[in-house]
Amino acid sequence: MAENGSRQASVADAPDAHLLSEDEVKKIHEDIVHGNDDVEDEFQDADGGETGPDSSGNWAVSEEEMSIIRAELACEFPDDYKYLSDAYVKSVASKPYSKDPTQRRPLEYTMEKLSHVMEWRQQAGAPEMEDLLKLANGPATATEAVENPEKFAKAKALTTALNYGSTYWHGMTKEGKPILWIRCDRKPWYPDVDAEVNALILIADAGIRNMPKNCTDFVCLSDSNYPPPPNATFMINMLKALVRGYPDRLAQLVSAPVGSIIQFVMKLLTPLMPGRLASKVVLLGQDEMIGRLEDILLNGNDDIPTFFGGPCNHDEFYPIESACPNRGEGSLKFDYFGMVERLEKTVKDYEAAQG
């Protein structure tokens, strides 16, 4: 049974849910990729199909070139330029040029790609999300809360979305990638779409800021039991955020089990996905998931969570909202700051073990 005690949802519970027409797909796809059909491919790590001087198909990027890119990012985005790690910038800059695969992409081209990400972050308000969280975690009598009630309302909506405890970082893969867990049974039936997307941005940024050195992507593992009725607006906005704000950050998304709602979601979203993003989504049966988790998780079976039949109790750190204490003087119950501290320690221990 779902943790929230509600009955199992179906597509019929969302009367507005329908697959998109060809014209709708074309229009929404264009909006998602923002005129750049290969947005995901442009950021992908080179594979054997690409040409370059090293075994992975990449070119070297000098320290001087990295300094030039860094300086331009700092000039254009002074409040957020540190968000992009050197590993991520170098990954983008080292790739073959799509117009001439025998050459490395020009620095101007790399800057254009990175600028698109940073511009989206500005428009989405990504750099301010943690400040909003801190505002909501403080008293309603705080000066900023009183003087800017609209901002305070946005901050409280953000914490409401976080408090469901449906999305969090916990553990790593054998390859040293952070793991983002999704608990579908904790998702609200009638979401505040903007707040849910803002919560995703906040959580995603926390994980990306704390990735191991030279790591540029993460793995998402989803417990898809008891999902809420499909909300097309939320799903499309979430996909847009992933594509525009986090190109090639998702290494793989593995979801189990596969019910009618998950099948509907994939039928809705797959035509909207650019490039190779759809190939990163793996849908499995509940029994198949155990073997896949053993292969993915750093400590194998010991890291499999209880909601997938394993021994690792995530609820010790991320219980349902009614079992969470208040984290401050405001409305935050989800242990966001504890999550960040645990991720930092996990990464530190992993890097120490690697020598």
Asked if 120 and 233 sit in the same domain, the reply is no
Q: Is residue 211 part of a domain?
A: yes
Asked if residue 1 belongs to a domain, the reply is no
Does residue 32 fall inside a structural domain?
no
Whole-angstrom distance, CA of residue 190 vs CA of residue 15? 12
> Domain check: are 110 and 175 in the same one?
no
Establish whether the linkage from the previous residue to 229 is cis, with ω within 30° of 0. Answer: no
pLDDT tens figures, 183-200: 999 999 889 999 999 999
Residues 6+ apart with CB under 8 A from 335: 317, 318, 324, 327
In a domain, 317, yes or no: yes
Cα of 122 vs its chain's centroid, Å: 17
Pair 87, 19 in one domain: no
Is residue 94, in this structure, part of any structural domain at all? Answer: yes
Residues 336 and 217 in one domain: yes
pLDDT digits (tens, 9 = 90+) for 230-272: 888 888 999 999 999 998 899 999 999 988 888 888 888 888 8
73-130 pLDDT, tens digit per residue, is 999 999 999 999 999 999 889 988 878 888 898 999 999 999 999 999 999 999 999 9
- Are residue 322 and residue 285 in the same domain, yes or no? yes
Among the three residues 90, 124, 158, which one is the final residue of a domain in this structure? 124
Is 28 part of any domain? no
Question: Does 174 share its domain with 58?
Answer: no
Could you tell me if residue 279 is inside a domain? yes
pLDDT tens-digit readout, 214-224: 999 999 999 99
pTM, two decimal places: 0.88
* Amino acid at residue number 182: I
Quote the domain boundaries for residue 330: 11-23+125-354
Backbone φ and ψ for 275, nearest 5 degrees, come out as 45, -130
Task: Select from 71, 101, 124 the last residue of a domain.
Answer: 124
Residues 179 and 271 in one domain: yes
Residues 95 and 197 grouped into a single domain: no
Domain boundary among 78, 107, 124: 124
Q: How many residues does the chain have?
A: 355
